[in-house]
Amino acid sequence: MAKHQHALTRAHYEAESPNRVRVSDGDKWGLFDRFGNWLEGELIQCDPHICIWLTGIVIVNERGTAMVGRSNAGEIQHDQTQTDKQ
């Protein structure tokens, strides 16, 4: 699953499933949902933006495409590099 280290706190974030993120900071850990809401563990606060970002990557990778932006007409453009290689 997707992993990330927070740039300021140096805590480690790991998506365990599309709706669950484990955050560890030294010996302490916590489980949070994809929106950063506490589920269990010693750590009761986390960066919700990283939780959303990590669980979003899991969902995008399962679909095999990644959104890269919008065109001038407002249409969503997709990065087809993953699906083109398959």
Q: Specify the pLDDT at position 20.
A: 94
* pLDDT at 2 > cutoff 90: no
30: tokens are: 């916590």
- For 36, the domain range is 3-85
Of 41-45, 48-52, 78-82, give the range with the top mean pLDDT: 41-45
Mean pLDDT calculated for residue range 22-34 = 95
Q: Specify the pLDDT at position 5.
A: 86
Q: What is the tally of structural domains in the chain?
A: 1
Check: CB of residue 47 under 8 Å from CB of residue 37.
no
Q: Which residue has the higher pLDDT, 50 or 58?
A: 50
> Can you say whether the dihedral through the CA atoms of 26, 31, 32, 34 is positive or negative?
positive
